[in-house]
Every structure is written in C-alpha cells, then in structure tokens.
Amino acid sequence: MTGAQTLFDGLLVLLLVILAWVLLASKDLFRAIVLFISFGLLLALAWLRLKAPDIALAEAIIGAGITGALLLVGLGRLGSAVRCRPLPVRTTPLQRLSAPLLVGLLLPSIAAVVLVELFTLPIVASGQIKLVAAHLEHAGVDHPVTAVLLNFRGYDTFLEMGVLLLAVLSIWSLDRARHPFARDQIPAALLTLQRLLLPLLILVAGYILQRGAQGPGGAFQAGALLAAGIILAALCGHRLPPGHQGLLLRLALSCGFTTFLLAAAVTLARSGVPLLYPEHLAGSLILLIEIAATFSIAFLLAAAMAGGHPVPEAKPTAIDERKSA
C-alpha cells in the first residue's frame, strides 16, 4: 500500500465524517437530504476501497438512490419546520445537568474508548474466509458473497424477504398510495428519458442478476434497479391497472418469500435440514430463488416508495361533476 492511497483513504474518511456532521446539523432539511445522497455516493466509494463491490453497488442504488427519493417524498409531506417544540417544564438542577452530561461527556468518552479498543484489536484469524473457500465448490455458485447470501446463510436472506414484506404490510395498513404528479403535468423530457432508460434498466437488471453467480451483483442490486425502473414509470404517469392491484400485485410482492419458504419446506422434507440444497441442484435452485427474489424486491421497494396501499384511481363522482359544471 502506497502513501498516496493512505492519503486518499484518510481524506475520504475525513470527508464522510464531516459530511455526516454538516448534514445532520444543517438548518434546511432539503439541503440535509441532498447532502445525505452525496454521503451515500461517497460511502459507495469507501466500500470499493474496502474491496466490497457488492455493497458499493447496493449502497449507490438503495442507500443513496431509493432512500434519498423516499426521504424527499417524506419531506414533501412533512414540511421542514419544527412544529410543537417541547414546553419548558420545571426541572431540578440535576435534571438540567443530565442532558449536557450525556451528550457532551458520556458519548464522546464511550466513542474514545471504542476507538482506542479498535486500534489495539489484534487480527485473530482470517475470519470465515477459509471456511467459505473450503465449501465454495459445493455451493452451486462461484462468487463467495452470493454463496454466503443464498446458500451458507440462506436463512438470513429468507428472513430479510420476510422483513421487507412486513415493512410493506405495515405501510399499507397506515396510509394509502399517493401519486407524485398529476397526469397532465409530466415534463416531456422525463417521458423521453423513460423511453430510453426503461428498456436499458430491465436489461442491466437481468445482466446484474445473472452476473451474481460469478462476481459482484445479484438479486438485491438487480431488484433495486428494477424498482428504480418502476418508480420512473410511475413518475411518468403509468399506473397498475385496477385488475392487477388485487391478487396479482400480492403474488408479485410475496413470491420471493414464498419461493424461499417452499425451498425450505422441500429441503426439510428431503434431508431434515431446511435450506440445505442437494449439491447437483444447488446452482439451479439458487438461480430460481434469485429470480423470484429480484422480482419481489422490485415490487416491494416500489410499494414502499408509493407510501401506502393501492387505491384505484378515483372516477369523478356525481358531486364532483356537479361542482365542475
């Protein structure tokens, strides 16, 4: 490792820390969110420096892109102003002292202790690298990260699909979906962009999905790219037809989870261990689960973006027509 690389790493870490502080302290929340998006992109660079290209891809698409868009939509609904400050209540001197003590003294000292511990931490062993490498030939895929995600620790990904599904369920129970633009306000440039980008996004998502077996890529990144495509289409005024908002939409949302569940049930019945794939089938099983998961993740992320359960587009009622007439 050369001096120039160390300098780059140092600058990058410094920039990330300063950016985090500035964005959290900035007065204007819109500015904070824009800085958060650039924070995510710089973080993707840091993941590359840590030799984690899978995470870099996911961070750029999910961490910076989709989270940023979600936050901007949320800001549009909440507003930037702090409403309802706490009323001043009668406190004892000790109570008044506790907050600055906690924030000004306790937090920095815990941080300092953790930092010192980190710098003196010995490298115990090379982690699970050898273990993963030893079993990689039986995994059905060649890329270690994909092997861990979908074979060795497949239950992690299985439960994660469950978490995504639960998140969308709770969003659906709290609110109904809202459309960002009225249909007649869509800029022509956006429509052109969509016509160019949508086919390309689908193509690239398929490429990244299939590439996950050998190198960086896989279901998460591909699903997030597809979700971006769905969001772009929604911005351009495309809606799910009412006939597809019922069972079909629910099937699309849950197919990742149910495919995993089926795989777990079948392997449990065959070998007594859930998600223990037979070696000659592992590759195709993983591909099947990944395709279902990609599809599901795309719809789940887009549903989270819509911010509520689907409502068929309101037809003008009799009262509305009378008003306009």
> Does residue 33 bind other proteins (CB under 8 A)?
yes
Residue 27 CA to residue 92 CA, distance in Å, equals: 30
Distance of CA 23 to the CA centre of its chain: 20
Cβ-based nearer residue to other proteins, 114 or 325: 114
For helices 67-78 and 282-306, angle between their N-to-C axes, nearest 10 degrees: 20
User: With binding defined as CB under 8 A, does residue 252 bind other proteins?
Assistant: no
- Nearest distance from C-beta of residue 97 to other proteins, angstroms: 15
- From CA 225, how far away is CA 61, in angstroms rounded? 7
Region from 124-132, 236-244, 275-283, 316-324 binding other proteins, contact rule CB under 8 A? 124-132
User: Would you give the distance in Å from CA 140 to the centre of its chain?
Assistant: 26
Instruction: For the segment 100-119, give every residue that binds other proteins (CB under 8 A).
Output: 102-103, 107-108, 110-111, 114-115, 118-119
Q: Which is nearer to other proteins, 166 or 311 (CB)?
A: 166
With CB under 8 A as the contact rule, the residue among 2, 90, 94, 126 that binds other proteins is 126
Which of 132, 255 has the CB closer to other proteins? 132
4 lies in the site for other proteins, by CB under 8 A? no
Per DSSP, helices labelled H in the chain are 3-25, 29-49, 53-58, 67-78, 93-100, 107-120, 129-135, 144-147, 154-174, 188-211, 219-235, 247-271, 282-306, 318-324
Q: Which 176-215 residues touch other proteins, going by CB under 8 A?
A: 187, 189-190, 192-193, 196-197, 200
Q: Is 36 in the site for other proteins (CB under 8 A)?
A: yes
11 binds other proteins, rule: CB under 8 A: no
CA 228 to chain centre: 11
